[in-house]
Structures are given as C-alpha cells and as structure tokens.
Amino acid sequence: MTFGHIFFIPLVAMAGMLLGFVLGARAARNTMDLEKKRDAEREAARAARAARKAAASVGGPGAATGAAERGGAASEGGAKPGTPAGEAR
C-alpha cells in the first residue's frame, strides 16, 4: 500500500462526511422552515374559522341557521321567490 492510498482514502471519506453534513443541515433547515410556514397557515385558517363562527353566532338564538340561511328547502315555501314550487333551482 502506497502513501497515496493511506492519504487519499481518508481525505475522500472526510470530504464526503463534510459534504453530507452541509447538505443535511440545509435540508433540515428547509424542512423546519416549511413546517413553520404550515403552522402559520393552519393558525390563520383557525383564526378565520373562529371569526366566521363568532360572526354567525352574533345573531343570537333567533337567527336563521342551516339550510334556511342559505335559501335551501327549509326556507319559507321551499323555493326562491318567483320560482314555481315544483321547479328545481
């Protein structure tokens, strides 16, 4: 075994470990950034959902809910004004 082998093989192994460490750290950092972004998006969606729910409950117990609020079959008469009773929307 020559001096070249004794010197070259460990040098290549250490270069590979260094490159793996650098690329692995970058991948871990990207994963953490993506996770933080998803958490922020989820929190924003939760806040929006809570705001919609709070706005819907402002009407109190007498407020229209469900299909009646959307103008569905449970609304008065079951059809939109000006629509014959048997006709679908």
pLDDT along the chain (89 residues), means of 10: 84 96 96 97 96 84 53 53 58
Burial 9-43 (b: 16+ CB within 10 A, else e): eeeeeeeeeeeeeeeeeeeeeeeeeeeeeeeeeee
Specify the pLDDT at position 11.
93
Report d(CA 44, CA 34) in Å as an integer: 15
What tokens does 55 get? 């706005």
Contact, 18 vs 26, CB < 8 A? no
